[in-house]
Chain A
Amino acid sequence: MKPWAIYGITKKLTENFKKTKKDVKSISGVFKSSLHIFPIDVGNDNELNFEMEALASPQYNIHRFGIFFTDSPRHADILLILGKVSENMKEPLAETIAQLPEPFGIIIIEDKNDTKTGAKNLNLPNVVGYFDKKLEAKEILSVLLNVMGREV
């Protein structure tokens, strides 16, 4: 039996990535080579949560661009708001934003057909990107690379 370490290096799983242009603002020049993201589920139907999981897959290998998931908003540069906001999630969302260190950016990805409150209407600070349809993992990666202002 091969140990995991040897098992792991027998095939290259990472793919070449082609960045596409996305409509986002830049936060600051400091994120060119590193970006820490914290996704928050505010009541989406779990599809976007799964896309975030897919984004962590080796095909995208986001670490090579310096993109990392954080476990706390206190370490995050970008807050990804996934979905429209359910009534009970409004307070936790506000608290999460309050915990973000400066400078930070907020990206909203939601489904326009959803009936709840859109995060766009909540007057959130520093919204750098807004998308009214669900994005796939590769599109989310393009969005992040655009925010960073990074060439691939």
Chain B
Amino acid sequence: MIWIAISVFLIGTFLGFINRKASYITAFLASLLSFIAGFEAKFNGSVYLAKFHFLLSSYVGINIDELSGLFIMIASLSWMAVAIFSIDFGSNYRKRMAIFLNLSMLGMLLILTAYDGITFLTGWEIMTIFSYLLITEHSGAYKESFQFLAFSELSTLALILAFIGLYSSNNSLSLANTGSKSIIFLVFASLAFIIKMGIVPFHTWLKEAHSKAPSNASALLSAPVTLMGVYGLARIISITGYTHIWGVAAVVLGSVSAFWGAMEAAAAKELKVLPAYSTVENNGMILAALGLSSLAYSFSPASTLYEFAFLSAVILSITHTIAKTLLFLSIGQAKEQLHEESIDDMRGIHKSVGKIPALGIVISGLSFSAFPTLIGYVAEWMLLESIFQSYQFHSVLDRVVSSTGGVLLSLAMGFASFSMIKLIGYSALGYNHEKKAKPMPTFFMRTAELFLMILILGFSFFASYIFMGLGYSKFVIGALGVPKGWLLASAKPVFGVISPAFFVIVMLGLFLIPFIVYLSSKKNTKKVISWNGGLNLKEEEYFSANAFSFIIEYILRFIYLTKEVTTNNEAYVVISDVFEKFYVRMVKMSEKAGYNISRFVMNGKVYFYVLYILTVFIMIFIIFGSAST
């Protein structure tokens, strides 16, 4: 099955040279096949392994176990939607976009099915290079795509080092059914994956690349590509087991990242920067959940907390992948049809572009702001429940770390709601701009959006079935009048419970049905414009999105480095991401240093050059020789 999927992706690549629509359809089929393969592996136990002898004692090959099956399923849902979406969307771009899309999906599939480090790296590079090319499809995105490439190569470099570490401890590059305690592997592999996930301080590429890339590429980059990072971390845990200090670092980095991402998202004014920062936030939460799972395991493997925390990382990944794909696709459609960049200029998508993209933004946005009844709510509840349960920890360090992390994560969730309200309220539901959408075929775009919306709603309602399907039936109970199988519990013995399905029923009963009955009943209603001092609002009188977020930019001016600039007839607010400033400075410094070093080294004397190469060589030997022993 997996071979078929790979070959269909390859066929899609070749079709890209002939007909882009056919190529996108093929990509969809390949994604569907991948999904089936993943499903088979996860639920029917059809673990697949094919390995070939490579060099020395290492093997290369394809391997699908339960873990890869799960992530293939999650990722392929996003691929399917992106592929369908691209059938319409791609018509505005060049043919080669279809080729890049097929290949980057293939790269991801290789990562997820890699038996060994070599295959993994191959997939990693294929994904990176073709994602890079996808970004460059947007005219004028060279700087951003290059930044993406730089960070990706940094993570590749870290991966190579990690695999060197793995090889020196195991004498094999196998990633499946293996164990290793190599510190080098743990450190560098984790580094590689958190760079890919866009964890602070490695998040700046994400914002730049996502906002510049074509929207289908943004969806791909933001959801499945960062999911590869999550898969990588999960794979590390399966290899090295839970490490206490790794958990501490993950909770710290994850919660800081979640806070930072959410905070920057709250101040974002560009339509695609906001979801990009939201990705930083969500990946931060996933990392924190994994870290917490690690802490809990080292506290007591008998407690259900570590399993619950791991499950919450999985649910967060599912939520993020699906909802972020939906968000980028919906925004992408609107952006493509309106040709606007900022949240302010995109007001009233529900009128100008259509109900479905607007609804897509609303549903995904609500999911990210943890609106009860939606899967995002379940995910964030799980994360907070895991944090609450950390009161059991014995170690003071663990308690401090988890509670501080909890504070940051809760703040992040608050900021996330703030930013999502801005996104929903302005772009999707805001006052109409009277802008005309550019006519283009939208059937497949809307199909992709509807598909993802149904997924989110379905996953929300049947969250308990997902729990059971993932093999965690112990967290599904029945109590408080909720029948067995519909109530989610956060621990065994029971600590906290929710039931999204019951939320839906209660919401319908108390809210929607009375509302619909009210709307359909005969009534004497006066319809007037909103009250604005007796005059209709003019275009320049609408409360701007910048104004909406200025209040937090002002209160947190020490973090945002808010500057209010006023010149003769202009006034605006400048905020900046400290880390971005740092990188800009670093780039400048390295430019300068590079110039000086090259002048020093490449001075035309051969013996000097040879000496330089030798020194570097010896240094590498010393560093890795000492680490592997």
Contacts and interface: CB of A to CB of B under 8 A. Distances in A.
B534 A92 contact: yes
A71 B260 CA distance: 40
A102 B524 contact: yes
Interface in A71-128: 72-74, 91-93, 95-96, 98-99, 101-102
Residue from A72, A95, A102 having most chain B Cβ neighbours under 10 A: A95
Interface stretch (B394-402, B525-533, B596-604, B619-627): B525-533
Contact of B526 (A92, A96, A102): A102
Contact of B531 (A73, A93, A102): A73
Nearest to A98: B528
Interface of B is mostly: loop
A83 to B, nearest CB: 15
Residue from B526, B534, B535 having most chain A Cβ neighbours under 10 A: B534
Interface string B526-560: 10110101111000000000000000000000000
Contact of A93 (B524, B534, B536): B534
A93 B535 CA distance: 9
A24 B528 CA distance: 28
B394 to A, nearest CB: 52
A120 B536 CA distance: 24
A99 to B, nearest CB: 5
Contacts, number: 22
Contacts of A101: 526
Contacts of B534: 91-93, 95-96
Residue from B524, B529, B531, B533 having most chain A Cβ neighbours under 10 A: B531
Contacts of B526: 98, 101-102
Given A102-B524, A102-B526, A72 B531 contact: yes
A34 to B, nearest CB: 21
Contacts of A73: 531
Nearest to B527: A98
Interface of A is mostly: helix
A95 B535 contact: yes
Interface string B245-274: 000000000000000000000000000000
B535 A74 contact: no
A98 B526 CA distance: 8
Contacts of A72: 531
A21 B531 CA distance: 35
A98 B529 CA distance: 9
Contacts of B524: 102
Nearest to A100: B526
A3 B347 CA distance: 51
A102 B524 CA distance: 9
B46 to A, nearest CB: 65
Nearest to B533: A92
A91 B531 contact: no
Contacts of A99: 528, 531
B524 to A, nearest CB: 7
A91 B529 CA distance: 13
Contacts of B536: 95
Contacts of B528: 95, 98-99
Nearest to B536: A95
A51 to B, nearest CB: 21
B268 to A, nearest CB: 33
A90 B338 CA distance: 37
Interface string A58-81: 000000000000001110000000
A113 to B, nearest CB: 26
B531 A74 contact: yes
Contacts of B531: 72-74, 99
A110 B201 CA distance: 68
B530 to A, nearest CB: 9
A82 to B, nearest CB: 14
A74 to B, nearest CB: 6
B73 to A, nearest CB: 52
Nearest to A101: B526
A138 to B, nearest CB: 29
A96 B535 CA distance: 9
A101 B534 CA distance: 15
Contacts of A91: 534-535
A132 to B, nearest CB: 24
B527 to A, nearest CB: 10
A29 to B, nearest CB: 18
A18 B534 CA distance: 36
B75 to A, nearest CB: 51
B14 to A, nearest CB: 64
Contacts of A96: 534
B622 to A, nearest CB: 76
A96 B532 CA distance: 10
A71 to B, nearest CB: 10
Contacts of A102: 524, 526
A62 B199 CA distance: 62
Nearest to A88: B535
Contacts of A95: 528-529, 534-536
Contacts of B533: 92
Nearest to A93: B534
A11 B296 CA distance: 68
Nearest to B529: A95
Nearest to A73: B531
A57 to B, nearest CB: 26
A72 B528 CA distance: 14
A4 to B, nearest CB: 31
A102 B526 CA distance: 9
Interface in B361-387: none
A92 B535 CA distance: 6
Contacts of A92: 533-535
Interface in B291-327: none
A101 B531 CA distance: 13
Interface in B122-144: none
Residue from B528, B533, B536 having most chain A Cβ neighbours under 10 A: B528
Contacts of B529: 95
A7 B408 CA distance: 47
A52 B457 CA distance: 55
A73 B526 CA distance: 14
Interface of A: 72-74, 91-93, 95-96, 98-99, 101-102
16 contacts: A72-B531, A73-B531, A74-B531, A91-B534, A92-B533, A92-B534, A93-B534, A95-B528, A95-B529, A95-B535, A96-B534, A99-B528, A99-B531, A101-B526, A102-B524, A102-B526
Given A95-B534, A99-B528, 14 more contacts: A73-B531, A74-B531, A91-B534, A91-B535, A92-B533, A92-B534, A92-B535, A95-B529, A95-B535, A96-B534, A98-B526, A98-B528, A102-B524, A102-B526
Q: Which A-B residue pairs are the 9 nearest by beta carbons? A: A92-B534, A95-B534, A98-B528, A96-B534, A99-B528, A99-B531, A92-B535, A72-B531, A74-B531
